[in-house]
Structure 1
């Protein structure tokens, strides 16, 4: 049995409809007029409907042909969209980014308007939390990770290194503010905090409100240090923390929407600028 290329039939039918003749459609599709005519005859036979009325001067489209054309355009448009989403086409669609609240508030939020203006068809969803997201088991395209990266199948691009400082508000309570969960990087290990929170942005806000002394990345502290809301504790530089954007899959096969965001983050989303 002869294999039927139904997508090609749709494309040729639409060419005949738009050009108004088999010969013009043949030129457009780089086929012979005879091949176009035979393909349309096979299509009508299979559908059991007359799509085109042939006259000596022009091809006319029947009501059934008009209905088929609407459906064919929808099918071809859906195919184009599917190819754009997984291929190197226009930057369009949804990108889900798992990130800490600190990075989301201090780095991502101020620069995202530039990304959105550059790619009007791009949508973003931020999954905010300091916990490590299982990218293989969750609908996440990218993740921002702080600290050393464990061995894994994830691909990583550096977002720089931030100095970790110890800070407090003038006249702060003599207490320690810190994380409510254990951090993997030893530089965060120390005394048990009296006031605890599960994200870095809140830890910094608690310190700025006078709840005690806290450790935080320098990128979170610039404005508060400049305004005097926070001050560094003498000898407060306790180390440096690396940041990365990580993703699954090879860079050469990433959808255009993900590639665009990765490249934007590596250029503009560094924590050491």
Structure 2
């Protein structure tokens, strides 16, 4: 009889390969570093080869380990594909989404109840921040990104195009508010901003309280514009910014928990909806 833990051993070993350490792999698989280390020791003993060399600072994968990783990845990808083809892949487990405060508050928050209700065994973790996250080095399944996508290793699905408008409180000052870090797209560059913040949601709040003029996505100030708490600055240039949900790897190889969230976001999580 085959050991029923072999698939788990492969999965954990690939996590060690991808993350570069037992502690990082343990975080992604919700295990302790000690449990990961013991499982890898058992795997090497059963195979009779050294898959990785451990030092106090890093783990390096041997040639045998690299070969086993390629085979294991193919086996797990084939299993995921087989389960999807017969419709029995479970939508269960945790999906970690790196996203901005603006998208989380104004797009995700209203649509997540229906998603979680449809999949009782699904859990969502939101990692909030406007800065880019290295998805290859972090326990992140999906990222929501605005603007250009220069990284060709990422797979992307469109979430629509956001209209970027300049807003301020009625009779508020015209002085610009800006981002406290450099953004790739020149539409966000505001010269002479005396008040800066690291996320668009905060910039919108600052504008609402009369601190100046902020350039923000229309979707995150829709309610304030409708109630008159903010107004679009007349004659200010309007820009557009694409949003995407991004992930590593091929769509056909995504676990059901992740692919289900991707499809839901593409359908319900558009910024121009």
With normalisation by structure 2, the TM-score equals 0.68
Aligned to 2:70: none
Q: Do the aligned partners of 1:167 and 1:236 also contact (CA within 8 Å) in 2? A: no
Aligned to 1:98: 98
Aligned to 1:160: 160
Change (3 A) 1:190 1:178: closer
Aligned to 2:120: 120
Instruction: Give the deviation of 1:245 after TM superposition.
Output: 0.2
Aligned to 1:257: 257
Aligned to 1:223: 223
Matches within 5 A, 1:116-195: 116-195=116-195
Change (3 A) 1:238 1:6: closer
Instruction: Give the deviation of 1:174 after TM superposition.
Output: 3.9
With normalisation by structure 1, the TM-score equals 0.68
Determine helix, strand or coil for the equivalent of 1:94. strand
Determine helix, strand or coil for the equivalent of 2:221. helix
The separation in 1 between residues aligned to 2:123 and 2:102, in whole angstroms, is: 21
| Runs of 4+ deviating beyond 2 Å | 4-7
The separation in 1 between residues aligned to 2:244 and 2:263, in whole angstroms, is: 12
Q: Do the aligned partners of 2:177 and 2:190 also contact (CA within 8 Å) in 1? A: no
Q: Do the aligned partners of 1:97 and 1:141 also contact (CA within 8 Å) in 2? A: yes
Instruction: Give the deviation of 1:189 after TM superposition.
Output: 1.7
Change (3 A) 1:260 1:212: same
The separation in 2 between residues aligned to 1:268 and 1:189, in whole angstroms, is: 30
The separation in 2 between residues aligned to 1:107 and 1:206, in whole angstroms, is: 20
Change (3 A) 1:167 1:87: same
Instruction: Give the deviation of 1:254 after TM superposition.
Output: 0.4
Change (3 A) 1:174 1:261: same
Instruction: Give the deviation of 1:264 after TM superposition.
Output: 0.2
Aligned to 1:234: 234
The separation in 2 between residues aligned to 1:205 and 1:163, in whole angstroms, is: 18
Aligned to 2:32: none
Which of these two proteins has the greater Rg computed from alpha carbons?
1
The separation in 1 between residues aligned to 2:213 and 2:204, in whole angstroms, is: 9
Instruction: Give the deviation of 1:87 after TM superposition.
Output: 5.2
Q: Do the aligned partners of 1:163 and 1:237 also contact (CA within 8 Å) in 2? A: no
Instruction: Give the deviation of 1:134 after TM superposition.
Output: 0.2
Determine helix, strand or coil for the equivalent of 2:163. strand
| CA RMSD after TM alignment | 1.8
Aligned to 2:111: 111
Instruction: Give the deviation of 1:190 after TM superposition.
Output: 3.0
Instruction: Give the deviation of 1:6 after TM superposition.
Output: 5.6
Aligned to 1:201: 201
- Aligned residues, how many? 195
Q: Do the aligned partners of 2:168 and 2:174 also contact (CA within 8 Å) in 1? A: no
Change (3 A) 1:173 1:94: same
The separation in 1 between residues aligned to 2:3 and 2:194, in whole angstroms, is: 69
Change (3 A) 1:115 1:6: closer
